[in-house]
Chains A and B, each alone.
Chain A
Amino acid sequence: MQASSVEIRNVSKFYGPFQALRDVNLSIPPGKVTCLIGPSGSGKSTLLRCINFLEDYSAGEIRIDGRMIGYEAPGRRMRGRALREMRRSIGMVFQQFNLWPHMTARENVAEGLIRVRGLSRPDAAGRAADALAKVGLADKMDNHPSRLSGGQQQRVAIARAIAMEPRLMLFDEPTSALDPELVGEVLHVMKALAGEGMTMVVVTHEMGFASHVADQVAFMERGELVGVDTPGRILHQPEDPRIQGFLRTYHERNSF
């Protein structure tokens, strides 16, 4: 598997007068795990969604393996076909899973293979089965999402993304909607993926995951990227008072 790199340069985003991203710079090296942390509303999900252009950005550029996403040149929008081409190699996992409820787990995974990769139905079904086996759901293939737990649904969503053989995976708070006892199974699958050398960008509140799996952690607040460094230096010896403050509230909330 070939892993992508992402370069984010001077990216800003406005919602009307509100500035959601302020001149963000971040390098995401290939094959590494980057965690985005910070308080809610700090712009981490917005930044993540800019990387596959589900959200457009107002200024700056985001390059994936050197190619800018969303714009042909600054100010000139990319055509649909070119954008779809780029998205094919970027997998995304959402907080709310976003599985298609009218399809079984296997159909959810096969859909993109058929419509986007142009695989035949039997080939797609076979690959979907492989992907589902990989996330430990070989026995749930024919279930509809309504018959799966949250953790299982999120694993199907991960299988749906990895079946497309992406070179970059984006995770938008993948465990935030899960009951605590189901978080582990999803993180486990993500760890395995990281172990295979996938480039991963993960917006998360799971400091344990960030601490153990991330190669770098970026802290955001009010649309600004405050600091990016190794997990040790961001999570254990932060220098910026804003990061210290955030971690203090985090620890207070999680202690009993």
Chain B
Amino acid sequence: MDLLQTYGPALLRGFGVTVLCWALGTLFGMTLGLLIALMRHYGPRWLNWIIQVYIEVIRGTPFLVQLFVLYYGGPLIGLRLDAVPAGLLGLTLYGSPYFAEIFRSGFRAVAPGQIEAARAIGMSEPSIVRRILLPLSLVSALPALVNFSIILTKETVILSIITVPELMYQVSRMSAETFRFVEANLVLALFFWGLVETISRLGRRLETRITKHLLERT
């Protein structure tokens, strides 16, 4: 109990930082991923080639290494970031190729006829993306988007190694100072379980809303 009194506030603060990093990292990563997917969908071939290299590099290396390169290697090329912005940028870059691939497969699941119908009445491509392509691709992409967002919650613990004061960081500190490894990590597990459960509940609710009118299609 003393333990909780001493470390409780720090743990809570850490959890707050974790949630914030996750939420912003997911938001930015998803946005960047969407942009990448759109560039692949509409852009010229050479751009597609560059994007493919980017995707392979990010997907082919561990997040830990990317973060090291960004945080400790960044200053060498004049990129000096504090721990939290560096962590956010890292999460954004790390998530973007996965999100991009999810959006891309979502785009492909939209019946071409529905895009053609929009073109045939003279809608502009930006309108088509916003009003037709995106909403319809979400139907198939949403479960995967939620799933990857959940995976990202657990990647946030890696931010502790570049001293982002998130939950893992606080838990490590607590266990190093008290040697109560079991309790400390139990707290970590409980917090994460709560977060993941909340996200997946929200995801399911969103899914029901989005697919409400799309069942029993002829």
Contacts and interface: CB of A to CB of B under 8 A. Distances in A.
Could you say which interface size class chain A belongs to?
Answer: 20 to 34
Given A111-B131, A146-B217, A87 B119 contact: yes
Interface stretch (B148-156, B159-167, B191-199, B208-216): B208-216
A100 B122 contact: no
Interface stretch (A88-96, A192-200, A219-227): A88-96
Given A54-B119, A88-B121, A100 B132 contact: yes
Given A94-B113, A94-B117, A115-B124, A145 B136 contact: no
Nearest to B113: A98
B120 interface: yes
Interface string A91-121: 1101010111110000000011001100000
B136 A102 contact: yes
B136 A87 contact: no
Q: Is the interface of B mostly helix, strand, loop or mixed?
A: helix
B92 to A, nearest CB: 29
A96 B125 CA distance: 22
Contact of B217 (A88, A94, A111, A145): A145
Nearest to B130: A115
Nearest to B138: A102
Interface string B174-218: 000000000000000000000000000000000000100111111
A100 B136 contact: yes
Contacts of A80: 124-125
A150 B216 CA distance: 12
A112 B136 contact: no
Nearest to A52: B120
Nearest to A145: B217
Contacts of B123: 84, 111-112, 115-116
Contacts of A99: 114, 117
The 9 closest A-B pairs by CB, nearest first: A144-B213, A98-B117, A98-B113, A112-B121, A92-B120, A88-B122, A87-B122, A84-B122, A115-B127
